[in-house]
Structure 1
Amino acid sequence: MPPKAESKALDTKADTKAADAAKTAAVAKQRNLDDAISSITKSYGEGAIMRLGVATALRSIEVIPTTALALDLALGVGGVPRGRVIEIFGPESSGKTTLMLHIIANAQKAGGLAAFIDAEHALDPAYAKKLGVNLDDLLVSQPDSGEEALTICETLARSNALDVIVIDSVAALVP
């Protein structure tokens, strides 16, 4: 019987060593993650990365309604989140531009400002007006290249003055 007792003692020591090694590895992982989060926050500002379950991360999300009730409900927050990059994807003539014009109109009705970067050179002002867009307050750019369109978009985004910036369309940015 003594060999069994000795074997149990060895197993307990091995288990303790394994548990200690796992704890040490977990602490090292957490420290590395904290360093990465700190670096991202330092480079890109507060809120660039956060734990979703933390109360500050679950703050109320400002939205701009799309005017499509089913879509607003499906998005789960009542519209498109303000301050986020949103891509509307679909086949040609599926209503992507119409949806974006509705979003612009709703942003303007709430006192917001919008820009439309018309890379396709196809914006119809009369149609936009029928959808409720205030043409006098809409900034429009018809860039000659994708690079110019993205530079204009970046400059407008960095101004923090606009509620909506539309690029119509991503496909038109590629030569």
Structure 2
Amino acid sequence: MRNTRWTRFTHASWASDIDNLLCSQPDTGEQALEICDALARSGAVDVIVVDSVAALTPKAEIEGEIGDSHMGLAARMMSQAMRKLAGNLKQSNTLLIFINQIRMKIGVMFGNPETTTGGNALKFYASVRLDIRRIGAVKEGDNVVGSETRVKVVKNKIAAPFKQAEFQILYGEGINFFGELVDLGVKEKLIEKAGAWYSYNGDKIGQGKANAISWLKENPAAAKEIEKKVRELLLSNQDSTPDFAVDGNSEAETEQDF
């Protein structure tokens, strides 16, 4: 880590502790993974994010010529790193998040042709795997201001898998909290929806979702009350029967396909 370049972010609009947010831009995939291992062993950080697995280029590929064949280099690199990282992450209680990308398998006639980069080791070592997809656009007039996003838990060693959630991600802001509050309020019957109109406690709060969101922003006490009720309802349903069925091969198929 002696020659590692670190950058401290100061973007005021990010909803994170930017005073303690560091960024490193290593030269090779091996260097990036060694930095992760050193940080995990140090216990100095709580969360490490690698963005992304597809960009972790092995040293041999960087030093080689364009067009050279490097079959399986990235997969071997990730496999070795996972064996080394697993124990250190457990000892230091550090969360390591890998962001990956979807690729298409060539010549697949049956089943899911999608796969992820970096081989199979990351799939097997991961405690939780989330499939995140953009399913639409959020618009204000003709301008696209965000993305409708769906997240599905395709693997979970610590809780029930195959749950999914949908929410909006607004550019420059992050997850649309008030939009999610409106959706969950309607789902849990705390907010009434009749046509395009939204109502709360019998009073109309806006025509259209955008106006309902604006009302919640202008009435933080009501928004806090709805949030509290939604959390209570969701937590009370945690012990209910999961809304999915899993046969003997479902988990194995999920491991292979994603």
Same fold (TM over 0.5): no
Q: Which of the pair is proportionally richer in strand?
A: 2
Which gives a bigger RCO, structure 1 or 2 (Cα 8 Å, sep 6+)? 1
Indicate the structure (1 or 2) with the bigger Cα radius of gyration: 1
